[in-house]
Chain A
């Protein structure tokens, strides 16, 4: 009973100011006009690029800055300009457009009742696509649930993604995982967990193993800014620092963790990149809506890791344009103007403008690309639908429910598997 709580019932000393609890509040709620004047956007190209072999502390200023390459005119400027060929830039744009088209289609498929769940990455495409371009294809990635851009960039068949989302009979994961929790060892893409930041210490452990074995592959992992509050994040940073692990630790700061703004992970006080300073590892804060900046930062960190210079923490400063998932409505907790007025623009549009400024792209070609990718995804989704949609869910033999719990089926699971089949004969005699 509350009345018995001794600490709550003692007498407050009247000669001292009462203590106050600070509960963070976001600047804007639904209906509020948005004013982003508190966000300092430095000029593109003004950020120094330390040598790959530099001591980690030489990045300390960059954790409070913002590495930017594309200026307001779409020109690539400054020391971080990765000077990518036109072919690579167009390829990158194609992948980002494809990711966006895929998200649009599969989000709709969920709304049409074809599956239970979907998560878009709109506005954050650069943080996975451009990063994947900067990594070797066999570098191991430990993604969170919003890095479909990595999988698509690495050429994972889209139809396998849709099969997984529909949990149909073609689903390679046998309908065991929530939609979008992909896995592909062949594409060096680790199985996605629904528990947040668990992939962080795993990525560090994988990188340690690679170093123990004298391998040349590095690891990269992603989590949202909200998940940096998890103990796993800090354990991972400690291990990465202690063992100088060849790993890239990406924090996608998209401002929102479901309905909790970044202040609930500490953003009112400092940046997420600044966490690196305390751990003594390299840290970069990057314009996450600038694909060239993301590419440049990732390749800088990758080269460091690959040359035994250790881990890098990269904060990608971006904005989650859509809801967290199909299960929430962001207009219930934040101002709709936030997305529209976001001071760093849209990553697809910025890369498009860059290509236009180079004279190799135009609105017509872009419209054609949008159309082509939408059609590609439409065809893939239709083909996958032939394998079924979630619906009743009974797409796999019931025995698959019991397989892979252990390498071999123990007696108790064998008994339970037989029970499930007996129940099936009664509950669904015709299926």
Chain B
């Protein structure tokens, strides 16, 4: 496998830590699934094309062969059926990890997520739970057009009873995925597909670095967890706070560095539950806040973040909270880079934020 070769090569180059292999995000996710299938006989994977073929993004490559047909299997093209069956399996006592091939395809299964998976614990007073982790690639930047590019996270953060997790590095992807699978609540695990193979920084016309050159690609082979609800300060700073997740963590950090400003960049990692303490402490320190997400603007998760920041940090704020987001349009195919909230839009917002 090409990715494996890259990671092996990378591992041999990192002389100081020869024991920690380097992985891209696909390999890290594959490793998390492999570890959990081995550790817990109740973990099963199912989804469209995930079995013999190993998934359209190869996240489940080799897992059916290793763990067997009844642990890792293909499904009919029916997201309602996939999630509905997973709810039933969870009620039985399994810990299903269904894959929805693209986040854009999740809508036929949304009733089973909102009215069923998210509500079982509540309506049965804990007699039945939904310990499922729905994995799904999300976000744009791969010329996927409007049905392979969406960022629907705020549809799920709005639902009582669902957790929403979005990693930004291979290390986090593995640790967060393991923590999600072990979690007894239903988790929506969105994988930013633009950064599956490298930490894309938003400068679309420049070559993308491979993960092997990024610290976040050092991924232990064995079991470890990155706890849900804990944000990560990826860059400490004093001038303003950036709140981002997924691909936009890398984009925001690159733009901050290109502008030579001393911003504190926070990778939220989990939207629900949210690490409000880290956000609050940072904004109170810097007095300014920039929120960046790729999803559409109106009622996006940035609106929630902006409200929380003003509720909790208003008397520390020296400028209005800024939001940089995708436009309120369907994700366009050919105009992808005009739509994408990249360096120019973020740069404008930084200028506005630091004006006074």
Chain B residues positioned under 8 Å from A108 (CB to CB):
none
Within 8 Å by CB of A202, from B85, B183, B274, lies: B85
CB closest residue in chain A, given B94? A209
Contact of B115 among A198, A239, A405, A412 (CB under 8 A): A198
Once the chains are docked, how many angstroms separate the CA of A14 from the CA of B96? 58
Q: How far is the CB of B273 from chain A (nearest CB, A)?
A: 4
| Chain B, 245-284, CB within 8 A of any chain A CB | 272-274, 276
- B92, A210: Cβ atoms under 8 Å? yes
Q: Is the CB of B128 within 8 A of A190?
A: yes
* Chain B: CB-nearest residue to A221: B88
Contact with A along B191-229 (1 / 0, CB 8 A): 000000000000000000000000000000000000001
Pick the contact of B92 from A176, A195, A209, A406 — CB < 8 Å? A209
Bound Cα distance from A4 to B178, whole angstroms: 54
Contact B276 A411 (CB under 8 A): yes
Whether A201 lies near B88 (C-beta < 8 A) is: yes
Whether A176 contacts B44 by the Cβ 8 Å rule is no
The dominant DSSP class at the B interface is: mixed
CA distance A356 to B126 in the complex (A): 46
Range of interface residues on A (Cβ < 8 Å): 35 or more
Task: Check A406 against B84 for contact (C-beta < 8 Å).
Answer: no
Among B62-85, those with CB < 8 Å from A are: 70-71, 75-76, 78, 80-81, 83-85
Could you tell me which residues of chain B, from 136 to 156, have a CB within 8 Å of some CB in chain A?
none
User: Which one of B117-125, B166-174, B323-331 contacts A?
Assistant: B117-125
Asked if B89 is at the interface (CB within 8 A of a chain A CB), the reply is yes
Is the pair A239, B81 in contact by a Cβ cutoff of 8 Å? yes
Assess whether A185 is interfacial by the CB under 8 Å rule.
yes
How far apart are B205's CB and chain A's nearest CB, in angstroms?
40
Contacts of A376 in B (CB 8 A): none
Contacts of B184 in A (CB 8 A): 407
**Interface residue from B70, B85, B89, B185 paired with A406 (Cβ < 8 Å):** B185
* A200 within 8 A of partner (CB): yes
28 contacts between A and B (CB under 8 A): A142-B88, A173-B123, A174-B125, A176-B122, A176-B125, A183-B124, A183-B125, A183-B127, A184-B127, A190-B91, A190-B128, A191-B120, A191-B123, A198-B112, A198-B115, A200-B84, A202-B85, A202-B88, A208-B85, A238-B76, A242-B76, A405-B121, A405-B122, A406-B273, A407-B185, A410-B229, A412-B274, A412-B276
Top 3 nearest A-B pairs by Cβ distance?
A: A201-B84, A205-B88, A205-B85
Where the two chains meet, the residues of B that have a C-beta atom closer than 8 Å to any C-beta of A are 44, 70-71, 75-76, 78, 80-81, 83-89, 91-94, 96, 108, 111-112, 115-116, 120-129, 160-161, 163, 183-185, 229, 272-274, 276
